[in-house]
Amino acid sequence: MNFETTPVEAVNISSEYTTLNGEPVLRVVKKEKLMEFDENTYAKLIDSSFHNGTIEVKMLSRLLPDAPDFARGFIGIAFRINEDDTQFESFYVRPTNGRIDDPIRKNRGVQYFSYPKYTFDYFRNLGITDFEGPADIGLDEWISLKAVIHGAKGSFYLNDNEEPVLVVDNMKHGADARGAIGFFVDIGTEAFFKDLKITATD
């Protein structure tokens, strides 16, 4: 999909089409005033409607100069976004955790959450670790993401690996949810996206 001709709606972010190393990309940055984690902060593909299928995209993140010390380079996708941006599913990565020595942070390299209720903070406060895991990733490098979505199950793959980094069997909005696709970003991150491919199966 050609990013230069793909219209997006900025939802609590700023976005622009630009170039990075000579390639056309979409740049996305979260608005400063929104300081909560796992919010509806994405560039949403206008007129997209996705239920089941595959979402593939390449993404790269950098820390902004004024990023807080808890910033992790958060970058990912939102999908099945409803019309008023009050419900969606999401998968994102934390590149600064990918190759760190700290075993706790290392196991938090990737994250699934479901807006509005089931944020990473919700899972963490209850000691639920089923929705995060490790990944060999880093800042300022292109990370290939493939999300395979069917019913209430989501399988998430990085960098063309045959094994998923995370499988979610019970996505919180259920098997019938449908909606738009977005490019997700969180606090302190300058995010870039390219090479989007959407393959719908229904």
- Per-residue pLDDT of 43-98, as tens digits, reads 999 999 999 999 999 999 999 998 888 889 999 999 999 999 999 999 999 999 99
Q: Enumerate domains of the chain plus CATH numbers.
A: 3-200 (2.60.120.560)
pLDDT band at residue 185 under the 50/70/90 scheme: very high
| Residue 187 · residue 72 · CB < 8 Å | no
The reported pLDDT for the residue numbered 37 is 79
User: Per-residue pLDDT tens for 101-150?
Assistant: 999 899 999 999 999 999 989 999 999 999 999 999 999 999 999 999 99
